[in-house]
Structure 1
Amino acid sequence: MKKYAYIGCLGFIAVITTEFGVIGILPQIAEHYQIGIDKAGWLLSAFALIIALTGPFMTLLMSGFDRRKVMLAAIAVFLLTAVVSAMSPPFWLLMLVRILPAFLQPVYIATALSVAVSGSDKKESNKLMGIVFIGVALAMVTTVPFATWLASVWVWESSFAVQAAVSIMALMVIYFQLPSMPVNGKKSYKSELKILSKPIFIISTAMNFFMITAWFSTYSYFADYLNKAKGMDGTMISYMLFLFGIIGVFSNWIAGKMLSWSVSKTTALFLSGTVIIPFLLYFSGDSMPANIIVIAVWGFLYSPSFQNASTYMISSVPDSLEFANSLATSFGNLGVTLGTALGGWMIVTKGASYNPWIGFVFGILAFCMIILRSILEKRAEKKKIIIPCR
């Protein structure tokens, strides 16, 4: 039902604003707390690491609860985080409250996707999931750049006020527009964990991990990269985030349509950005017009990454949508953690201009996984062919 998909999309905007809203203000946070940019980056990577370590288990644990209550509880925790963070607490407390919503983020995403496709035709499921995932791009075009711009002209704490406002809106819409949705029963751990023994699913998981690592080695430090490598100021960076997001909304819509046609080809097409973008960023140099064009291409190819990764993994085990998606979220965020850590290390040791080449390496690894899965699927198809006896 499209209404439920749009409700899930709004909540996703709140989730993404909280998780990635710090990207544009990491330099200001580092300056405020007198710490290195790599240490400030842990506000993003620690969040992602918690998701990676606990996501699947939290999803299974919450699978027996009313879906509406689960979504409300998750967004309420995100709201609490935003309110406390806006008070500029000590760095250890800021880190702590950043970690709390991470436990429920994959639960929210898996539940929202499940609610969106409930009762729908299988042909429509990718489109409905695409609507939910558009929340990522919408956050990138609205709340994330707005929060970055507001922090650049006022104080960095105002960024968290934006996050709080979006979370309140999502809470109200879920509370008033989404009916009670009890589940028939809690899924067993044994029935769900069996997908971990399937080679194609494992390879798909590795592709997800490598792809997200590739993108986030640079994207996690989007503001720092554009400042140090391209000489942009805070205001211009907020404009670039806005452009990035505008393109991303269109890109997610296109990807949702294309995934209904071919999951593997669509994933490969958008993954190509991890290999192409480093060269484009290198050759664009200090030219502002060229950099604007490259950032637009970057936004187009990057934005559907989580949607593509989840759909790619789910397509290998279509009967385990919620658990497969929680694993996609977990390993995707493990990629965020590694990408952020490697990106921070590269900035400190070599310089921000080298970060895109980390993405190049992991992008190649992701392509290898797509090729390997294709080979295994063709072998499996051949085994299914039965030669009739004459």
Structure 2
Amino acid sequence: MPRAIWIIGFGIFAQGTSELMLAGLLPELADDLNVTIPQAGWLISAFALGMLVGAPVLAIITLRWPRRLALLAFLGVFIVGHVISALTDSYGVLFAMRFVSAFAYAGFWAVGGSTAMTLAGPERRGQAMSVVAGGLTVATVIGLPVGTWIGQHLGWRGAFWTVAVLSIVAAVAVVVAVPTLRTDEPPSIRAELRGLRPPRLWLSYAMTAVSTTALIGTFSYLAAMLITTTGLDPAWVPAVLFGYGLGALIGITIGGQTADRFPRAILGAGFTGLMLTSALLALAAHHVGATIVLIVTLGLLGFGTNPALNSRFAAIAPEAPTLAVSGNVSAFNVGITAGPWLGGLALAAGYDYPVVPWIGAGVAGLALVLWGLDTWVVRRVQPRSAPVEHASVG
């Protein structure tokens, strides 16, 4: 695997740490900025909104830029946003910088993902995307607890400074390792927009959004469920969440190694496993041992589908290699926003925490239905003699 792909993955790790770390810093932020904890929580929503909007917009704006220049521009904006965030005393300024930083991060995701698949070649797209998306997984395993620890001991501003420094290191590495990738024939925006026409592309976006909703909705309330329903000592919650992250890392590794050969099989098995694991988690939420095992399994199955979800667009929409990936980034963030919202609605209605994985199981079932529809569409349009499982058909 080219070194540049690992550098792009590191850039995702550096920026992804910022996406996750605020979950553990809300009390400190609220106290320092004189806002409520729910208002501090809106800073997470601002980041998700920036990701949702930024990916397609920046993919279009920078479509004809050399790939290295685009990546460096996104990192530059992200770094400036975090320096301003670390210096400000204004909640409004911090909110705006969260949106701006996420906007740039989304562009890095879209351009970085398409660049990684170009460098890897058609036979290793899934492996390339497992490395890129693995940066976020490592941020889940390491970045979230470390960022929280830094914030608790050095203040929340220290966490922002740390992310800024990591992003500077990523920018230097991009300069050294990522090629310019300037084409003699600049890509056409109209051609890329036309390339977004295939119905299967939008069906794939729906699978991404729905499966992410199922996973993140449950994940968002795991800590509260472990303490309130399972009866786990709060001191052990970080260790269990580390187990979730470790499962996610294993899942994305396995998914990356198999996504190029068996893309639809990985999705079918992953969605089925996510549905069953979520249901079992809801049933076993009062039993500590079973709950811990199921949480690790949830991370493994939930993230195991990511390489296939990320790499299939090169085959489905070959005329839109950048915009197709950016659309998937937006779809992921639709799920990141919708999952906690659905769980919050149920909890606000008076249900106990096990209702959240039940919702996750139902939503994962919808993802499985979408996968079945996608498989039916492929088999209908494919010649009978052609193999069903092949990376070229997504």
TM range (shorter): 0.7 to 0.9
- Residue of structure 2 in register with 1:378 after alignment: 379
Percent of aligned positions that are identical: 26
The alignment status of 1:70 with 2:64, answered yes or no, reads no
The alignment status of 1:334 with 2:334, answered yes or no, reads yes
- Residue of structure 1 in register with 2:389 after alignment: none
The 1:354–1:166 alpha-carbon spacing in structure 2 relative to 1, beyond 3 Å, is farther
**Structure 1, 351-360 or 329-338: larger mean CA deviation:** 351-360
The 1:235–1:16 alpha-carbon spacing in structure 2 relative to 1, beyond 3 Å, is farther
In 2, are the aligned partners of 1:284 and 1:291 still within 8 Å (CA)? Answer: yes
Q: How many residues align?
A: 384
Whole-angstrom CA distance in 1 between matches of 2:256 and 2:138: 14
Amino acid in the other structure paired with 2:22: V
The alignment status of 1:111 with 2:127, answered yes or no, reads no
- Residue of structure 1 in register with 2:170 after alignment: 170
The 1:321–1:179 alpha-carbon spacing in structure 2 relative to 1, beyond 3 Å, is closer
- Normalising by structure 1, we get a TM-score of 0.87
- For residue 168 of structure 1, report the CA deviation from its aligned partner: 2.6
- For residue 191 of structure 1, report the CA deviation from its aligned partner: 1.1
In 1, are the aligned partners of 2:282 and 2:358 still within 8 Å (CA)? Answer: no
The 1:240–1:157 alpha-carbon spacing in structure 2 relative to 1, beyond 3 Å, is farther
Amino acid in the other structure paired with 1:274: L
In 1, are the aligned partners of 2:50 and 2:106 still within 8 Å (CA)? Answer: no
Amino acid in the other structure paired with 2:365: I
- SS in structure 2 of the partner of residue 196 of structure 1: coil
- Residue of structure 1 in register with 2:99 after alignment: 99
In 2, are the aligned partners of 1:15 and 1:105 still within 8 Å (CA)? Answer: yes
- For residue 77 of structure 1, report the CA deviation from its aligned partner: 2.5
In 1, are the aligned partners of 2:49 and 2:99 still within 8 Å (CA)? Answer: no
- Residue of structure 2 in register with 1:369 after alignment: 370
Unmatched runs of 5 consecutive residues or more in structure 2: 387-394
In 1, are the aligned partners of 2:207 and 2:371 still within 8 Å (CA)? Answer: yes
In 2, are the aligned partners of 1:218 and 1:356 still within 8 Å (CA)? Answer: yes
**Structure 1, 359-368 or 216-225: larger mean CA deviation:** 216-225
Amino acid in the other structure paired with 2:92: W
Whole-angstrom CA distance in 1 between matches of 2:315 and 2:180: 29
Q: Deviations over 1:98-124 (max 9, x none)?
A: 100222223212222233233544212
- Residue of structure 2 in register with 1:283 after alignment: 283
- Residue of structure 2 in register with 1:50 after alignment: 50
Whole-angstrom CA distance in 1 between matches of 2:160 and 2:31: 17
Amino acid in the other structure paired with 1:376: V
Whole-angstrom CA distance in 2 between matches of 1:334 and 1:16: 16
The 1:223–1:65 alpha-carbon spacing in structure 2 relative to 1, beyond 3 Å, is farther
In 2, are the aligned partners of 1:145 and 1:239 still within 8 Å (CA)? Answer: no
- SS in structure 2 of the partner of residue 22 of structure 1: helix
Whole-angstrom CA distance in 2 between matches of 1:342 and 1:26: 21
Whole-angstrom CA distance in 2 between matches of 1:164 and 1:347: 36
The 1:106–1:167 alpha-carbon spacing in structure 2 relative to 1, beyond 3 Å, is same
The alignment status of 1:2 with 2:7, answered yes or no, reads no
- For residue 27 of structure 1, report the CA deviation from its aligned partner: 5.7
- Normalising by structure 2, we get a TM-score of 0.86
- SS in structure 2 of the partner of residue 65 of structure 1: coil
- For residue 264 of structure 1, report the CA deviation from its aligned partner: 1.1
Whole-angstrom CA distance in 1 between matches of 2:381 and 2:203: 15
Higher relative contact order (CA 8 A, sep 6+): 1
- After superposition, residues 139-288 of structure 1 pair within 5 angstroms as 139-151=139-151, 155-232=155-232, 235-288=235-288
